[in-house]
Structure 1
Amino acid sequence: MALIGKLKTTDNLIFRGIQVEPQCFLCSCSAESHAHLFFECDFSFNILKNILPDFNVFLLRPNLFQAFEFIAQHEFYSSTEKDFCCLTVSCIVYHLWRERNSRRFSNIRINLVKLICNITAAIRLKIAKWKNKEMLLIRFTGI
């Protein structure tokens, strides 16, 4: 849903005639949209580049599609590393969406460091039975 822009972000709700507060609940600096939420937002981009430091090469913030494209076209990633990075980005998207909803509907906030810890813990659980787990954890030090 996130990749094809179908999540109920404020830009989608406003387009459908539903009046909602347009601000991003992660950074409170911009209007919320799919592109902003994943990963033009300072908050979300900081999570992405902390967990996957290779994203520091971007001069401009990537959107979600560009993030997956970067992984697919990265010439120094093996197929296992590409799978791992796709899993990681998917985990980040899931946790960002949950945090956004928690802030929007429950007024409960997790700080950046705690959210990064939660995401990396989820990733470690997902790859626990992968045979190349140790190599991936060494290669991607943000996990």
Structure 2
Amino acid sequence: MSLLLPKQVCKHNSHLSKGIFWGQHKTHVFKSWKSICAPWEEGGFQVKELTDWNRTVLLKWLWTLDKNAGAIWTSWVSKYFLTSCSVWELEAKAHYPESLRGLLRVRTECVEQLGSIQAVKLLLQHCTVRGCFSITKAYDNIRHKYPVKPVFRAIHRGTMVPRHRIITMLAVEGRLATIDKLTHRGMYLVNRCCLCKQAEESTAHLFFKCPFTSTLLGCIKAWTRMNTGTIQLQDLLLWTHKRARRKHWRNKWISCSLGCLVSEIWHERNLRIFEGRERTHQVLLSNIQFTVSTLLLHVVSEQVYIDVIEALNN
């Protein structure tokens, strides 16, 4: 049986999770916690929000009591507490066990949120798959939703490591902490791109209007045989997503290279600002090729292994 977690426990857990994305000081937050908890297709990082997930698990036990599914805890509650009424009519009392009182509290909150008991029953019925309650489907129904965008789906279905995927997602949304964003929030900084030292720094400039990054993009296009003339990050990801439907290993090659390229550019930018170190195009290109080759050789099948090695070495 699952228990309804105290609010302070959920709040402390969320505080620790937020520190991973925002840091300990949270001076400048570029993405809300609700959007971080959204799925990849909606621009989130697919992190479970503990409060909603805890309520979802308790909804499963509400479903078992309503259906009398036969679990040991369900049989015990039905025998001693539901002899004269249903779980929808039962009122919480102080001498009831904490597990039952927490379940009744969640039931009351759902009824108040949806408007009626019948609406909650319809929700439970909607989350029933082949005679079993689906916690995943229930969580998807109670969480906060954002619009699904093709570019987010392209990032999610592309062959990228999680770190590259997160940075690419923030770059597409324009939420990276570039100098123009920081000055807009009140920080007094000289807005100058540290890569080309010519134009002002912004997300659009870094990907890929900057001469330094556009040259690097051209090298990646030549290496991966990308036959597209677009230089905008979002268009490149959408173009890759359309090709990915063919399920060829070369599409994984291109998708992985784009994610690694975005991550390396952002890493190089931070190295120059915070550590005063600079790397050349050749060094960055070698790092990208090594990372992509290592990942690609782990995801392709044995039948095309030799073809992949020959393509990567050319």
Fold-level match, TM-score > 0.5?
yes
Using the TM superposition, give the Cα deviation of residue 70 of structure 1 relative to its aligned residue in structure 2, in angstroms.
2.6
Q: SS in structure 2 opposite 1:128?
A: helix
Alignment match of 2:188 (pick from 9, 12, 19) = 19
How many matched pairs?
A: 139
Distance 1:118 1:81 in 2: 19
- Asked whether 1:6 is paired with 2:175, we answer yes
Q: Specify the alignment match of 1:101 in structure 2.
A: 270
Q: Specify the alignment match of 2:127 in structure 1.
A: none
Using the TM superposition, give the Cα deviation of residue 35 of structure 1 relative to its aligned residue in structure 2, in angstroms.
0.8
Distance 1:67 1:9 in 2: 21
Higher deviation after alignment, 122-131 or 85-94: 122-131
Question: Could you give the per-residue CA deviations for residues 109-143 of structure 1, whole angstroms, max 9, x where no partner exists?
Answer: 0111111111111111111222245434545667x
Distance 1:4 1:46 in 2: 23
Percent of aligned pairs with the same residue?
25
Q: Which amino acid aligns with 1:2?
A: A
- Judged with a 3 Å threshold, the aligned counterparts in structure 2 of structure 1 residues 18 and 72 are, in CA distance, closer, same or farther, namely same
The ranges of structure 1 where at least 4 consecutive aligned residues each deviate by more than 6 angstroms after the TM superposition are: none
- Judged with a 3 Å threshold, the aligned counterparts in structure 2 of structure 1 residues 36 and 55 are, in CA distance, closer, same or farther, namely farther
Q: Specify the alignment match of 1:46 in structure 2.
A: 215
Q: SS in structure 2 opposite 1:2?
A: helix
Using the TM superposition, give the Cα deviation of residue 50 of structure 1 relative to its aligned residue in structure 2, in angstroms.
0.6
Give the TM-score normalised by the residue count of structure 2: 0.40
Q: SS in structure 2 opposite 1:45?
A: helix
- Asked whether 1:66 is paired with 2:235, we answer yes
Higher deviation after alignment, 108-117 or 61-70: 61-70
**Unpaired stretches in structure 2, ≥5 consecutive residues:** 1-169
Give the TM-score normalised by the residue count of structure 1: 0.83
Whether the 8 Å contact between 2:178 and 2:202 is mirrored in structure 1 is: yes
Q: Specify the alignment match of 1:117 in structure 2.
A: 286
Q: Specify the alignment match of 1:135 in structure 2.
A: 307
Alignment match of 2:201 (pick from 20, 32, 39) = 32
Structure 1 residues 79-98: aligned runs within 5 Å: 79=247, 80-98=249-267
Whether the 8 Å contact between 1:23 and 1:32 is mirrored in structure 2 is: yes
Distance 1:78 1:140 in 2: 20
- Judged with a 3 Å threshold, the aligned counterparts in structure 2 of structure 1 residues 39 and 55 are, in CA distance, closer, same or farther, namely farther
Whether the 8 Å contact between 1:36 and 1:63 is mirrored in structure 2 is: no
Using the TM superposition, give the Cα deviation of residue 16 of structure 1 relative to its aligned residue in structure 2, in angstroms.
1.2
Distance 1:141 1:49 in 2: 18
Structure exhibiting the larger radius of gyration computed from Cα positions:
2
Q: Which amino acid aligns with 1:15?
A: H
Distance 2:200 2:227 in 1: 24
Whether the 8 Å contact between 1:47 and 1:116 is mirrored in structure 2 is: yes
**Unpaired stretches in structure 1, ≥5 consecutive residues:** none
Distance 1:70 1:45 in 2: 17
Using the TM superposition, give the Cα deviation of residue 67 of structure 1 relative to its aligned residue in structure 2, in angstroms.
1.6
- Judged with a 3 Å threshold, the aligned counterparts in structure 2 of structure 1 residues 46 and 23 are, in CA distance, closer, same or farther, namely same
Whether the 8 Å contact between 1:2 and 1:34 is mirrored in structure 2 is: yes
Using the TM superposition, give the Cα deviation of residue 84 of structure 1 relative to its aligned residue in structure 2, in angstroms.
2.1
Using the TM superposition, give the Cα deviation of residue 47 of structure 1 relative to its aligned residue in structure 2, in angstroms.
1.1
Whether the 8 Å contact between 1:22 and 1:31 is mirrored in structure 2 is: yes
